[in-house]
Structure 1
Amino acid sequence: MSEVRLTVEQRTEFGKGAARRTRRAGKVPAVLYGHGSDPKHLSLPAVEFARAIRENGHNAVLTLDVAGSNSELALTKTITTHSIKGYIEHVDLLLVKRGEKVTVNVPVVLAGTAGPGTLVTHEVTELPVEAEALHIPEQIELSIEGAEIGTQITAAQVELPKGVVLAADEDLLIVNITEAPSEAEMAPEAVEGEAAEASEEG
């Protein structure tokens, strides 16, 4: 994962009104904490931060250039977005050091096509792993190519990149492959749905 550099400012105003003013100025309110240090209240450039997350994922490691102080390395911990409008309301950042190991959730992406007549259920879409802060994988690819009915893939069977360690129960079920329902099996559900619709209309 590439390192992203952002120029940020320290915030001296707090509260909802101050946060709204920060966002109107094209910035995102953020708090940087960790390693026993006092939390730092920052404002991040909204467009640049959104681009960093879009291109590097939610586990993006940021180099923060704070005016009047040394640069800090930070891991994006929590992003709060507006439930309706979708813009970023607030960000929690975790202070990290080079070489330090952190535990994060990494997306699991399925690759390939399972065997004929199968139904693939992706039980877990993110896997907790431990990795060096600057070597967090953007995603973990899991092949289901040709997988047959009855196949179950657990966390222990997922091949992790070098230096990355599983931080979840080895028996955690990631993918479950079962027999796909036939048209005949699906038909009663369709008939029931049509009957319910007719009943509502009547």
Structure 2
Amino acid sequence: MTDAPRRIAIAHLDGKMRCPWPGQDAAYVAYHDDEWGVPEFDSRALFEKLILDGFQAGLSWISILRKRENFRRAFDGFDPEKIAAYQPAKLESLMQDAGIVRNRAKIAGTVASARLYLEIEAGQGFSNFIWDFVDGRPIVNTFRALDDVPALTPASEKLSRELKRRGFKFCGPTIAYAFMQAVGMVNDHLVDCHCHQACQLAYTKSGSA
């Protein structure tokens, strides 16, 4: 019996090597190239991604990505102040919106999370709060196969615990790690992927280095 082949970076028709997980899906490849792993320091963008990752729980990310514009429309551009003021009638209208994931607990959790976000943003700032879990700079890993990338880490467990302690929902350590990867707190592009070095360069250019 032979071992299953390791999922390593693959060459695309444009000549670039990429992580295998987006496959050949154009939207997924664009997300992989332009967003995933690029260090994000904008508080509201971080809030949006945290909420969307919460909606992903139990689903695939591509299913959320394909609905992202619907989510943005439905949740007022992920404006925390507007979301925090949602009343029961708004929540009911969201439950009737076929363009998003109609999960009552996740929708209600988004409203609660928006209120918690505003508290943190008024204090130390949401971006500072999030990035403090990696001491303000990305953790750069050097994995050569997707099979080597962990599902969670001590850092994601710590982030998850603190988010839960403050009242955030749908933020277990696996979701927390997916969030950390997506917003560039962790660079988990495979070393042979062209984005691995690009994300490090993006951090340097951000002025946060």
TM (normalized to structure 2)?
0.25
- Greater gyration radius: 1
Greater fraction strand? 1
Greater fraction helix? 2
Larger RCO: Structure 1 or Structure 2 (Cα < 8 Å, ≥ 6 residues apart)? 2
